[in-house]
Amino acid sequence: MKNIFLGLFAAAILVSCGTISTTTSKVGKSQPSISNSKWTLADNVKGKTPTLNIEAGKVTGNAGCNNYFGTLSSETTSGSFVASQMGSTRMACDNMSVEKNFLEMMQKANKYVVSGNTLELYKDELLLLKFNKAE
C-alpha cells in the first residue's frame, strides 16, 4: 500500500513538472465550460480508474473504490474550480490510498484548464490531476 502511494505521488510530481512549462500560461485564463461533462483519470492506477462527472453544479464519480459526490463552483472567465462538501460511500478496498489521494487533490484544486479532450486540475500553478474526456 505504501509503495502504491509513493508511486502515485512520484508520478503526479513528474507529470506536473513536465507539463507546467507548457500549460502554465493557460492557468487562470478563460476556459471552456465543463458543465455536463464526464472525465476519466489519465494516470494508470492499480484497480478501478477514478472518474469525474460534472453536472448542474455537482461533481460525482468513482474515486477508485467508492462513489463520491460534492458541489462544484466553477467560473469560465477565470478557470476557477472549487469542489466542496465532498462525501463518499465507505466500502473498504485494496487501493484505499489511491482513493484518499484522489479525493484530497480534488478538494485542493482551485483552477482548471481544458485542452482538447483533456482536463487538468491545478492548485494555483501546480498540476494535481489530469483527466481524459469520457465517451
**What integer pLDDT is reported at residue 22 of this predicted model?**
46
Distance CA 115, CA 61 (A): 21
Q: Give tens-digit pLDDT for 125-135.
A: 999 999 999 97
**What integer pLDDT is reported at residue 25 of this predicted model?**
60
Taking 50 as the pLDDT cut, the residues of the chain under it are 1, 5-6, 10-11, 13-24
Q: Is the distance from CB of 97 to CB of 8 less than 8 angstroms?
A: yes
**What integer pLDDT is reported at residue 2 of this predicted model?**
52
Q: Which residues contact 80 (CB under 8 A, 6 or more apart)?
A: 73, 74, 110, 111, 112
Domains defined along the chain, listed by start: 2-133 (2.40.128.270)
Q: Give tens-digit pLDDT for 98-126.
A: 899 999 999 999 999 999 999 999 999 99
**What integer pLDDT is reported at residue 94 of this predicted model?**
81
Its pTM stands at: 0.79
**What integer pLDDT is reported at residue 3 of this predicted model?**
53
**What is the maximum span of the chain, computed from C-alpha positions, in angstroms?**
40
Burial status of residue 23 (CB atoms within 10 A of its CB: 0-12, 13-18, 19 or more): middle
Residue 84: count of CB within 10 angstroms of its CB: 11
